[in-house]
């Protein structure tokens, strides 16, 4: 665990999806510690109590991450109000329990607009400001499902996996500008993810009931019983942001740790078992080019 600090002046945070869950817990935590916050939600009136508690250091704006004009307006408001953005947290999103075959084109595009492309638009809008500052930290809320595929959640896993690799590549692109990138990979936490924020496909297929149907039932039964504490998750995220050497990935929860470890062992097992086939595909008459990764 890295506990070194790099916190001199109050940081300015822009967090999406602050009305409930991780976003709300993190918003409350950063304000309590004395930082500044541009809190966003599709219904900013849900943030009224938070803003009234911290009128000098918090401001709320409407932000639908699927709308480019909302994104630009939110970033402009943060700059006008606080002068800079030190930390962008892409948290807005929702779950979807459905087998891939059950998902329509409309559902597929709408889901990725919210859970992947919205984060990309926000990063592209904030990055020029962070480059000019010579510093910044992008925190992308991924999931254990960003590394581990779960049956009945193929689209959700796909969106998070896309965010994972995009973030990893981005970290290499912006390192020289003083910008850091961290992925947060929570397990099951006691937020409204299993309730209000969880959707199912409009059209189900009977053949997938044992998979997607069982998965949806499990999520509903676990609602309110998840082992993870959002307030503790918020403190862990703050610790990562304040670290001089923040992690590329931060798993949260004992369940996340176990599942990710199992996935790594699975990948290693397959890689070793098929090693001879893997290396047999190279040309034998020339040296391999040096890796650029």
Residue of 19, 142, 143, 215 marked active site: 142
The encoded tokens of residue 82 equal: 């606080």
CA distance 22 to 229: 10
Catalytic residue (choose from 160, 208, 215, 243) = 160
In the three-class reduction of DSSP (H, G, I as helix; E, B as strand; rest coil), residue 185 is classed as strand
Structure token pair of residue 15: 């967090």
CA 277 centroid distance within chain: 35
Burial class (CB in 10 A: 0-12, 13-18, 19+), 179: buried
Give one DSSP letter per residue of 233-286, joined into a string.
Answer: HHHHHHHHHHSSS--SEEEESHHHHHHHHHHHHHHHHHHHHTHHHHHTTS-SSS
Structure tokens at 200: 């199912």
8: left (phi over 0), alpha (psi -120 to 50) or beta: alpha
Residue 14 CA to residue 234 CA, distance in Å, equals 14
Which has the closest alpha carbon to 171: 247, 85, 115?
247
Give yes or no: 142 in active site: yes
User: Residue 272, Cβ neighbours under 10 Å: how many?
Assistant: 9
- Chain length of the chain: 293
Longest dimension (CA), the chain: 71
104 is catalytic: no
Cα–Cα distances (Å) from 197 to 91, 96, 99, 266, 283, in that order, read 13, 8, 18, 31, 50
Marked catalytic residue, from 54, 156, 208, 215: 156
Question: Is 98 within 8 Å of 201 (Cβ atoms)?
Answer: yes
How far apart CA 191 and CA 153 sit, in angstroms, is: 18
Catalytic annotation on 11? no
Residues taking part in catalysis = 142, 156, 160
């Amino acid at each position: 665990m890295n506990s070194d600090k790099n916190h001199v002046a109050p940081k300015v945070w822009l967090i999406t999806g602050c009305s409930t869950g991780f976003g709300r817990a993190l918003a409350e935590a950063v304000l309590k510690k004395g930082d500044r916050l541009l809190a966003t939600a599709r219904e900013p009136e849900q943030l009224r109590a938070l803003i009234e508690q911290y009128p000098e250091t918090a401001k709320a704006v409407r932000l639908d991450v699927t709308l480019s004009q909302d994104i630009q307006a939110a970033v402009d408001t943060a700059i006008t109000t606080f002068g800079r953005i030190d930390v962008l947290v892409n948290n807005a999103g929702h779950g979807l329990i459905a087998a891939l075959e059950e998902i329509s084109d409309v559902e597929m595009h709408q889901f990725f607009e919210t859970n992947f492309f919205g984060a990309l638009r926000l990063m592209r809008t904030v990055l020029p400001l962070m480059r000019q500052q010579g510093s910044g930290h992008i925190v992308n809320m991924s999931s254990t499902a960003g590394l581990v595929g779960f049956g009945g959640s193929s689209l959700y896993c796909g969106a998070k996996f896309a965010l994972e690799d995009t973030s990893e590549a981005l970290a290499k692109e912006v390192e020289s500008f003083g910008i850091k990138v961290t992925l947060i990979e929570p397990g099951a936490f006691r937020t409204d993810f299993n309730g209000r924020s969880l959707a199912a496909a409009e059209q189900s297929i009977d053949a997938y009931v044992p998979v997607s149907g069982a998965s949806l039932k499990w999520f509903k039964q676990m609602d309110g019983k998840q082992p993870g504490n959002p307030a503790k998750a918020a403190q862990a995220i703050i610790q990562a942001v304040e670290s001089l050497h923040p992690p590329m990935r931060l798993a949260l929860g004992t369940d996340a740790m176990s599942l990710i470890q199992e996935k790594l062992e699975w990948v290693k097992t397959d890689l070793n078992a098929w090693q001879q086939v893997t290396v047999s595909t190279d040309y034998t008459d020339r040296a391999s080019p040096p890796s650029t990764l």
